[in-house]
A = this chain, B = another copy of it.
Amino acid sequence: MHSLNPADTSQNAVDSTGESSRLAPEHRKRLEELYQHLAELRDRSIGYPCNQKFDYSELYPFLDLTINNVGDPFSGSNFRMNTHEIEREVLTEFARWTEIPDDDYWGYVTNGGTEGNMYGLYLAREIHPDGIVYFSEDTHYSVAKILRLQHTRSIMIRSREGGEIDYEDLEESIKIHREVPPIIFVNVGTTMTGAIDDLYKIREILDRLCISRYYLHVDAALSGLILPFINNPPPWNFASGADSISISGHKMLGSPLPCGVALARKTHVERIARLVEYVGALDTTISGSRNAFTPLILWHALKQKGEIGFREIILNSLKVADYAVERLNEIGVEAWRHVNSITVVFPRPSAALLEKWILAPYGEIAHLIAMPNVTRDTIDHFVDDFEKDLITGSKAPKTDETK
């Protein structure tokens, strides 16, 4: 008999046939060392959007089971050892937060942002086989990879300073190819600066060019779980015209396993479902075997924190981000952030600082992200190190000397 009490999991050390499932001492030692190494890095990992504040030990007993969410979470599966019901509840919450009517959405829990973006771009391409994808140069590199894999025509658009798509360049480019439907890859929070492409401005362009056949996919990897919880968010979701949205689960919610949610208008998916049936593929998800544990993780986070909890968490992260900007400015580092973003951007620091702290450098800039596990204390330590580095470091960041 198994129990949901995680303290009991050690009972499994000898399985029902009496065989030991333990590793040999040298292999256990290897794991211990790896664990210690990773745990030590944890507190200095502030450059990636991974909320490290979580505890899913209540769920560990499910790891005894070969659960698998193969198939469409809404239409059942022959393999009944699944968590489809939990998955649907998770999707319902995400649907509410992305403002799509209950009867008009479809989605599934993915392995992460790439699968969600792949899904949106796949839907778009099936609906507009001759379409061209437009995406800004600040778009995550995985999108270029997806487009290549999917053999979809695409055009990279300039970004404005700060990371938003350059609307003039977008309009010019669409104008040149008015004969084919544009598929616009919209960043709601770019990877490097957290910039948000404006859905209304994009739709104004389409209106001006009298384009009625188009598709808007939104990559809201991190911000998709920030914007629902702030007052007066910019236009970003289904209510503002999105056709599909990808949101990561391991970012804002926190998860030891990468995961995410792909959401799309049901009418689009039904169209694909017919095509999929035609080619004999039985389901509309991209992955066949699908992780059944990650829906439990997302469900746990949703139930345990609740909407009020999320509001508090987001508000606190925004405050910590402000604190980071302020403290970095105090030591002469030109740090800044976009409104509604917890990504704090600053000039690329020295190699030594990048060695000590896990930041995300790209070209001349780097950033830290005020995820819920990043506290004012963390910021103080980081700023202290940054300041020491500015004095002793060989490669100081370029700061504006007139300031």
* A115-171 residues at the B interface, CB under 8 angstroms: 115, 118, 122, 125, 140-142, 144-145, 147-152
Tell yes or no: A209 within 8 A of B by CB: no
A42 B58 Cβ-Cβ under 8 A: no
Look across to chain B and name the residue whose beta carbon is closest to the beta carbon of A61.
B35
Q: Give A292 to B8 CA distance when docked, in angstroms.
A: 25
Q: Give A65 to B27 CA distance when docked, in angstroms.
A: 20
**Chain A 49-73 near chain B by CB (<8 Å), digits 1 or 0:** 0111111111111111111100000
Q: Give A58 to B57 CA distance when docked, in angstroms.
A: 13
Residues of B within 8 A of A290 (CB): 112, 258
Contact of A81 among B23, B85, B149, B358 (CB under 8 A): B358
Tell yes or no: A48 within 8 A of B by CB: yes
Tell yes or no: A399 within 8 A of B by CB: no
Tell yes or no: A86 within 8 A of B by CB: yes
Q: Give A145 to B21 CA distance when docked, in angstroms.
A: 38
Contact of A10 among B15, B42, B57, B288 (CB under 8 A): B57
**Chain A 280-294 near chain B by CB (<8 Å), digits 1 or 0:** 111100111111010
CB of A259, distance to nearest CB on chain B (Å)? 9
Residues of B within 8 A of A258 (CB): 68, 287, 289-291
Tell yes or no: A2 within 8 A of B by CB: yes
CB of A258, distance to nearest CB on chain B (Å)? 4
CB of A371, distance to nearest CB on chain B (Å)? 9
Tell yes or no: A24 within 8 A of B by CB: yes
Given the contacts A257-B293, A288-B140, A281 and B23 also touching, CB distance less than 8 Å: no
Contact of A67 among B12, B23, B27, B256 (CB under 8 A): B256
Using C-beta atoms within 8 Å of the partner chain, give the interface range for chain A: 35 or more
* A1-44 residues at the B interface, CB under 8 angstroms: 2, 4-7, 9-10, 12-13, 15, 21-24, 27-28, 31-32, 34-35, 38-39, 41-42
Q: Give A287 to B141 CA distance when docked, in angstroms.
A: 11
Look across to chain B and name the residue whose beta carbon is closest to the beta carbon of A1.
B39
Q: Give A112 to B217 CA distance when docked, in angstroms.
A: 26
B21 A55 Cβ-Cβ under 8 A: yes
Q: Give A144 to B41 CA distance when docked, in angstroms.
A: 43
Look across to chain B and name the residue whose beta carbon is closest to the beta carbon of A2.
B39
CB of A355, distance to nearest CB on chain B (Å)? 10
B142 A281 Cβ-Cβ under 8 A: yes
Residues of B within 8 A of A47 (CB): 78
Tell yes or no: A248 within 8 A of B by CB: yes
Q: Give A54 to B67 CA distance when docked, in angstroms.
A: 13
Look across to chain B and name the residue whose beta carbon is closest to the beta carbon of A53.
B15
CB of A250, distance to nearest CB on chain B (Å)? 7
28 contacts between A and B (CB under 8 A): A6-B6, A6-B60, A9-B57, A10-B57, A13-B57, A31-B58, A31-B296, A35-B65, A42-B65, A45-B80, A48-B79, A50-B68, A51-B66, A60-B63, A64-B256, A66-B254, A68-B258, A78-B360, A114-B288, A118-B149, A122-B149, A140-B288, A141-B283, A144-B280, A144-B281, A145-B283, A150-B150, A256-B293
The 10 A-B pairs with the shortest beta carbon distances in the complex, nearest first, are A145-B281, A258-B289, A21-B55, A151-B151, A50-B66, A12-B55, A112-B289, A142-B288, A144-B279, A114-B288
Please give 9 more A-B residue pairs, beta carbons under 8 A apart, in addition to A12-B55, A35-B62. A23-B303, A38-B81, A111-B291, A144-B280, A144-B281, A145-B286, A147-B279, A258-B287, A258-B289
